[in-house]
């Protein structure tokens, strides 16, 4: 991921605001994920991580606090799970959301960082206003121990997503496509989604936590109202988007929700990310895995796995847009 500065949020009671038909849709999604989880728990741990109770996992629950940031090691709070869907699941065969047209829908994909950021440190270190405070324009992102950069990863997954979503009829726009020397800054990344009138925006990342920290998590905007930032109108819809993305990502990739953030839910809420704070349209980030963990890195560097990741995220978006 990208943005420096931990955000410790106070614990909150469950406050999931699902309504009407959305309740039905998510009710269908969550048990499916839990079934996969239970199967996984039965067949055994593939990751060696401490296990959480299955009941602690639901995409209908708020994330636990304690998010620190991208590229920084987090304390291994081991509250998570190595949950994974049953091995060998067929992503394409089980795709639920590939029907129907997304004609008229606009999806903005935000490939985190930029491969050129490493050569433009002064530019990306400039401060930009994210509503709540000022922050670096952008960051370099992380890399695997073998040097595969997060910026390359995010662009690859984003391009694979574009192929999937355009086949569904969506209009897909990127915040950057490796076609500029650095950036854009986080405020511009948000603005691109806003100006596009996007129906959904997903920012693609991979994390840089310590070895042993594994799994994916989706970052949802917290409720922020400060300066130019007002996320209140998009908090609920972004959570809905994030839950869909998390559920599809788990199902298609078979990857586990993070074992170091989100308490096994695969969801986290943050108020310190300019790309979320400044968004006026539904938006989430996904940290697809931890580049600094060798097992996660083996997945992140696999083109076959990245295709699954792209498919999983895209199916979550399609499901959200079909409402």
Stretch that binds Zn ion, among 1-9, 10-18, 127-135, 300-308 (CB under 5 A): 1-9
138 lies in the binding site for Zn ion (CB under 5 A): no
Name residues contacting Zn ion, limited to 67-126 (CB under 5 A): 70, 112
| Nearer to Zn ion (CB atom), residue 112 or residue 247 | 112
Look up tokens 């950069």; give the residue.
149
How far is Cα 112 from Cα 262, in angstroms, rounded to an integer? 21
Q: Residues touching Zn ion: how many (CB under 5 A)?
A: 6
286 lies in the binding site for Zn ion (CB under 5 A): no
205 lies in the binding site for Zn ion (CB under 5 A): yes
| Nearer to Zn ion (CB atom), residue 168 or residue 293 | 293
314 lies in the binding site for Zn ion (CB under 5 A): no
189 lies in the binding site for Zn ion (CB under 5 A): no
Look up tokens 């994974």; give the residue.
84
DSSP β-bridge partners for residue 284? 202
141 lies in the binding site for Zn ion (CB under 5 A): yes
Q: Is 287 a catalytic residue?
A: yes
1 lies in the binding site for Zn ion (CB under 5 A): yes
Q: How far is the CB of 248 from Zn ion (least distance, A)?
A: 20
| Contact residues: Zn ion, CB under 5 A | 1-2, 70, 112, 141, 205
Would you please indicate which residues are annotated as catalytic (active-site) residues?
287
């Amino acid at each position: 991921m990208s943005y420096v500065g931990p955000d410790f949020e106070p614990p909150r009671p469950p406050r999931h605001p699902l309504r009407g038909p959305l309740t039905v849709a998510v009710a269908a999604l969550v048990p499916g994920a839990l079934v996969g989880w239970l199967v996984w728990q039965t067949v055994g741990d593939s990751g060696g991580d401490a296990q959480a109770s299955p009941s602690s996992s639901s995409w209908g629950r708020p994330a636990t606090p304690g998010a620190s940031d991208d590229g920084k090691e987090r304390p291994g709070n081991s509250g998570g799970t190595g949950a994974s869907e049953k091995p060998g699941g067929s992503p394409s065969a089980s795709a639920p959301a590939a029907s129907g047209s997304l004609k008229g829908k606009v999806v903005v994909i935000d490939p985190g960082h930029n491969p050129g950021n490493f050569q433009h440190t002064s530019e990306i270190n400039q401060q930009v206003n994210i509503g709540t405070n000022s922050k670096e324009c952008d960051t370099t992102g992380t890399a695997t121990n073998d040097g595969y950069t997060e910026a390359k990863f995010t662009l690859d997954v984003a391009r694979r997503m574009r192929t999937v979503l355009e086949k569904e009829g969506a209009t897909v726009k990127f915040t950057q496509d490796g076609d500029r020397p650095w950036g854009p800054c986080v405020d511009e990344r948000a603005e691109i989604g806003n100006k596009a009138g996007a129906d959904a925006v997903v920012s693609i990342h991979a994390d840089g936590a310590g070895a042993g920290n594994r799994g994916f998590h989706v970052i949802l905007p917290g409720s922020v109202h400060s300066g130019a930032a007002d996320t209140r109108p998009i908090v609920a819809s972004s959570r809905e988007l994030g839950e869909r993305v998390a559920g599809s990502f788990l199902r298609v990739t078979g990857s586990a929700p993070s074992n170091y953030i989100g308490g096994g839910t695969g969801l986290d809420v943050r108020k310190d990310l300019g790309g979320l704070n400044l968004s006026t349209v539904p938006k989430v980030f996904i940290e697809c895995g931890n580049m600094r963990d060798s097992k996660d890195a083996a997945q992140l560097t696999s083109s076959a796995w990245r295709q699954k990741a792209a498919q999983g995220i895209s199916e979550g978006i399609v499901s959200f847009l079909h409402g």
